[in-house]
Amino acid sequence: MNILHIVPSFGLGGMEKIICSIINATGHEYEHALLALDNKHDAVIWLREGTVRLVEFCKSAGRVAFFRALYHALTAAKPDLLMTYNWGATDAIWLGRLSGVHHIIHSEHGFNVDEAAALLWQRDLIRFVVYRLASKTVVVSHELSHMLQHRFGLRKHKIAFIPNGINTCFYDQEDAARESMRTALHYKRTHFVIGFAGRLDPVKNFDLLINIFACCADKEATCQLLLIGDGPETVRITRLCKEKNLHDRVLFVGQQAE
């Protein structure tokens, strides 16, 4: 079976990690190809060698030219199964149908910051149509499942709920490794470290995190905040920590491949 994954971007992130896990686990059974609409492929470091073929794509400035280019890419790939992810890849659903793809699975992992407070009605109209063109839509939360059923009128059998899974044993390192890492980060044994790992993106709501941490730090002198990741919010979060006099208790270590 030939599977084509179409993503808005393939940078280092949670959704991309899930895609890599799927490809790594099934690469010996199926042929995987991946097309990133922005041609960004940082997350390939999480893939085993030879498990996926990267499809080069040049996104045109005009919408008509973009649709034409994506249609030609789909026609050339001729996938048995098309996998699309989030709002940024929804155009591939209707173009996939036009190009003759019979099986399309769309995955919704959440919404961008411009729809954090409320969904945009223009996009809702498009979602109403393209969700019905997909063979099935996968969601990662009960909230998304409820939204697709009651806001967009999708029947339950057209939705699959697969929650994000975290293998907590991965973080249960032996004491020596734990102490070595804490030493490298200049944490004392008495420090209570609160960690965040992910993109430093507006949709993550770092104002809430920093406000909560400020309350914790005010009541407990041992609290420290460790931020693992990078993104457009880095400068603003740094400034916010300084304004709240937390800069000496918040550690930024940047993006980490491991």
Query: Model-level pTM?
Result: 0.81
Query: Could you identify the residue written with the tokens 């790594």?
Result: 24
Q: Is the pLDDT confidence value at 175 over 90?
A: no
Helix, strand, coil proportions of the chain in percent (round to 5)? Answer: 45, 20, 35
Please give the Cα distance from 248 to 225 (Å, whole number).
10
Q: Is the pLDDT confidence value at 166 over 80?
A: no
Measure Cα distances from 144 to 14, 137, 163 in Å.
17, 10, 11
Q: Which long-range contacts (CB under 8 A, 24 or more apart) does 73-80 make?
A: 73/35, 74/4, 74/99, 74/101, 75/99, 75/100, 77/2, 77/4, 77/33, 77/35, 78/2, 79/2, 79/3, 79/4, 79/33, 80/1, 80/2, 80/3
Q: What pLDDT does 113 receive?
A: 64
Q: Is the pLDDT confidence value at 177 over 90?
A: no
> How does pLDDT run across 227-256, given as a tens digit for each residue?
999 989 999 999 999 999 998 999 999 988
Confidence category of residue 162, pLDDT binned at 50, 70, 90: very high
Q: What pLDDT does 168 receive?
A: 76
Exposed (0-12), middle (13-18) or buried (19+): which is 126, by Cβ within 10 Å? middle
Q: What are phi and psi of 159, to 5 degrees?
A: -120, 135
